[in-house]
Chains A and B, each alone.
Chain A
């Protein structure tokens, strides 16, 4: 992985990123001067104990939250000074989210949940294609209540990828799933990364997930403790946890 002719283009570059919650004695430093580069097209896993700041980082670079100080760049755009409306359009055009509790609209069917995004995206794929990608082509007319947890999470992923995002953020995507279903979901994430070339960021407690990543970032006390590049990636179905 050494290329001397061109610097790898980064999806994200942060510099001195700091996030402080509360004031005075109640102050909590969630992030302390984080400097980080995330190259385009990689699967990156953020690992660390609760409260280590990994989710805070994800939220800030995902445009859901603002840093107290420091800067974040997405490709060549500076996210730091963006207004709410600009952050909204940043998310709309570039970012897909997958959450631990799926966050599907209970009143919309699987396909309609995907259409929710394709209706507003600038360059979406066909909803059915997105659902086929996650292996749900036969359940597109089911409502969330009629789907299992793993199926709901796959709809959530289909919804996140249908806009063909440049980055896919996954916060504990397998947290509410059993290991078998969890592996299937990780497999889908890997497919998305390979087929769409999207950068995939996964925040998780499950250390074993790290084995499928290009790069693993270990978090502790609001800062990066270590960044490890995997020479060999494991297929999700081989992961043990």
Chain B
């Protein structure tokens, strides 16, 4: 080891606090990169492998009833690799210990062997035998949470008939990677099941002998999706085709894809912030070192070391910190990635999900850490080159403050000497000071945005479950019923209010844009389930036009007053053209509203309802639920509190956890900057401060001179951070919003308060750490050393 390397090690030890703080900022940047890219590739690869191994279809085409022989025609469409017809339908599971019937999806499997498309992953037991019509497979996670096992029996209602089935196995499926009860956004293992059973058995239950009601199609590699969708629609149209759609519109796939996209965006957007700040910190730390060591540099050069050798010495220091941070970041990233993978598995039902370290991300993490750190260092190293031995060994003149004296001239009359020192130092290094201010503000804005995001979710929940939906129960019928059914519901003891609804699946089209959704028909002035505007005031529904969710209007690129085409996928499947009458601001889903009687008129089915919203007296809840459970026409009953609980649980754990992590790393940035600024200020001024102590200034007065500067920087950063945070909140809200859910940019005073406390807290801790050094400073040795 060369003497210079010895010096390097000792310098690193001396600067360990700062080196660790900077290393930590780098580490967090790399952590985010490694974790997020690792998660993106783990989720993507596992998803793709899962889809491929279990032959998930590329096209899903529901229909009312299509003859089995049509499958051959589907296969003949150019670009189609395989096709299959299956039967699927809604079912209700009746568990003795549950007050409510639980919703399920029944899906057919071939009587013998595996299906060509959409195979299942058998986790326990065996596949049902086509010869035994009572044998079923149950969705694994539903079975586990409800304590059901192969060999148990299960009572379920299909197409109005109740039957007892025997569970022969448990399964998972790539099409239920993310399984939510119908019409809900958050998965709830306890309340949603999938039942697979033999084709013959299910066709009997749904009266589909020799027919299917959903076609699955897989594509050849070069196939044109749009052309195939058209072909499938044309074939199925005579049989009640409800519009074929590609995998990207399949609900489960959409959720996982949104998640992956979100991760990808963050993996690109966040690391540069951290690495940029680390570069800035390294710049000022190394700059300070070179200034303090100019004599040593001159001496080393005088001995005959070349510029390159001296520069390399300092560069090694930069590299040591950068590489140290990068290694820590990689390790932490892998750890965090593993932990996140566990969380993801709670919501995305993969048969297996291993956190795959993306080797490229490790390399990238290292490379950009070193590059960013070097960028910070290069500016300083130029100064090393510029120092000639003679100049370097001459003691530097006192820092020239004659300029800053004028800057603060008019203020001086009000200030004592210590305050003047604070102010002049701030104005003398405007670059360094604004760097620190901007860095702290950036850290703070990140905190503001992340905490605001938490508030936004609260707001979404509040708005959805308190303002939009004010019912207690939502009831859906097996098929559209006469509106007299509403009176029947109203007569149940304890039901306070009932409001009818008709919900039909639709495809909305505007020029080349289209969207699969549902059209909700409600009474003109609903009380229990309402469309609201941006001021959360209820919107009256119209007979002459639809009210469209704002997010949907953006997707469809349509404005109020323009005509929207609505292809109804129900009844006789009319194709309607309706003007957009207004926009609503719902935050969950993208609803489309029309006045109920107008909808029924358009469908040619007057006085029909498909469901109802109920407000009930909670005293009678159990009696009401058991009454509803016994009504055959009801296909599902959903308690709002269950839906809300599922949503809150999801927010709090998986994506919620991510936001807490973000808040923590925002605090790390702030601390890294504040601590380094304080340390450097102290290093630069140790002698001034010691002189003050010698003159008889108390430790408190001396600390003011040093920490006053830190205080001013922090105080300037606070409002700036708040403003940046405000804009970042908007950007993040927009970035996270999709048509599935919108994240409102919520102004939440507490997020500003929280971020300000985090910044002030970091400043106080940094100040305290540095003040400890002032208290224990060896006055004599500090004063004896030449600057």
- Which residues of A come within 8 Å of B, CB atoms? 55, 59, 62, 64-65, 84-85, 88-89, 91-93, 95, 97, 99-101, 103-109, 112-113, 115-117, 119-121, 142-146, 152, 159, 163
Known contacts A97-B694, A99-B783, A117-B695; is A108 also within 8 Å of B421 by CB?
A: yes
Q: Given the complex, which residues of B lie within 8 Å of A152, measured CB to CB?
A: 398
B257: Cβ under 8 A from any A Cβ: no
Number of interface residues of B (CB under 8 A): 36
B786: Cβ under 8 A from any A Cβ: yes
A146 to B401, CA, bound (A): 9
B397: Cβ under 8 A from any A Cβ: yes
A145 touches B696 (CB 8 A): no
A105 touches B421 (CB 8 A): yes
A107 touches B698 (CB 8 A): no
Q: Given the complex, which residues of B lie within 8 Å of A146, measured CB to CB?
A: 400, 402
B420 touches A107 (CB 8 A): yes
B421 touches A88 (CB 8 A): no
Known contacts A112-B417, A119-B416; is A144 also within 8 Å of B694 by CB?
A: no
Q: 1/0 per residue B689-723: CB within 8 Å of A?
A: 01111111111010000000000000000000000
**Chain B positions 185-207 with a Cβ under 8 Å from a chain A Cβ:** none
Given contacts A64-B779, A88-B698, A89-B696, 16 further A-B contacts (CB under 8 A): A84-B699, A88-B696, A88-B699, A91-B696, A99-B691, A101-B786, A103-B783, A106-B399, A106-B401, A106-B688, A109-B405, A113-B417, A116-B417, A116-B418, A144-B398, A152-B398
A62 to B783, CA, bound (A): 14
B398 touches A91 (CB 8 A): no
A101 to B692, CA, bound (A): 14
Question: Shortest beta-carbon distance, B762 to chain A, in Å?
Answer: 26
B787 touches A101 (CB 8 A): yes
Question: Shortest beta-carbon distance, B539 to chain A, in Å?
Answer: 63
Chain B binding site: helix, strand, loop or mixed by DSSP? Answer: helix
Q: 1/0 per residue B382-399: CB within 8 Å of A?
A: 000000000000010111
Q: Given the complex, which residues of A lie within 8 Å of B425, measured CB to CB?
A: 107
B698 touches A143 (CB 8 A): no
Nearest A residue (CB) for B782: A103
Q: Which of A89, A104, A119 contacts B398 (CB 8 A)?
A: A104
- Which residues of B come within 8 Å of A, CB atoms? 395, 397-402, 404-405, 416-418, 420-421, 424-425, 428, 687-688, 690-699, 701, 779-780, 783-784, 786-787
Question: Shortest beta-carbon distance, B338 to chain A, in Å?
Answer: 48
A226 to B440, CA, bound (A): 60
A142 to B695, CA, bound (A): 21
B693 touches A145 (CB 8 A): no
Known contacts A89-B696, A91-B694, A97-B695; is A107 also within 8 Å of B401 by CB?
A: yes
Q: Which of B402, B428, B780 contacts A65 (CB 8 A)?
A: B780
Name which of A65, A92, A101 has the most chain B CB atoms within 10 A of its CB: A101
Nearest B residue (CB) for A142: B402
Question: Shortest beta-carbon distance, B432 to chain A, in Å?
Answer: 14
Question: Shortest beta-carbon distance, A51 to chain B, in Å?
Answer: 13
12 A-B pairs, CB-CB below 8 angstroms? A84-B699, A88-B698, A89-B696, A92-B695, A100-B784, A106-B401, A107-B404, A115-B417, A143-B400, A145-B400, A146-B402, A163-B696
Q: Given the complex, which residues of B lie within 8 Å of A143, measured CB to CB?
A: 398, 400-402, 405
Q: Which of A84, A104, A120, A145 contacts B697 (CB 8 A)?
A: A120
B694 touches A145 (CB 8 A): no
Q: Given the complex, which residues of A lie within 8 Å of B416, measured CB to CB?
A: 119
Nearest A residue (CB) for B783: A99
Q: Given the complex, which residues of A lie within 8 Å of B693, measured CB to CB?
A: 88
Q: Given the complex, which residues of A lie within 8 Å of B405, measured CB to CB?
A: 109, 143
Q: Given the complex, which residues of B lie within 8 Å of A89, measured CB to CB?
A: 696
Q: Which of A65, A107, A142 contacts B421 (CB 8 A)?
A: A107
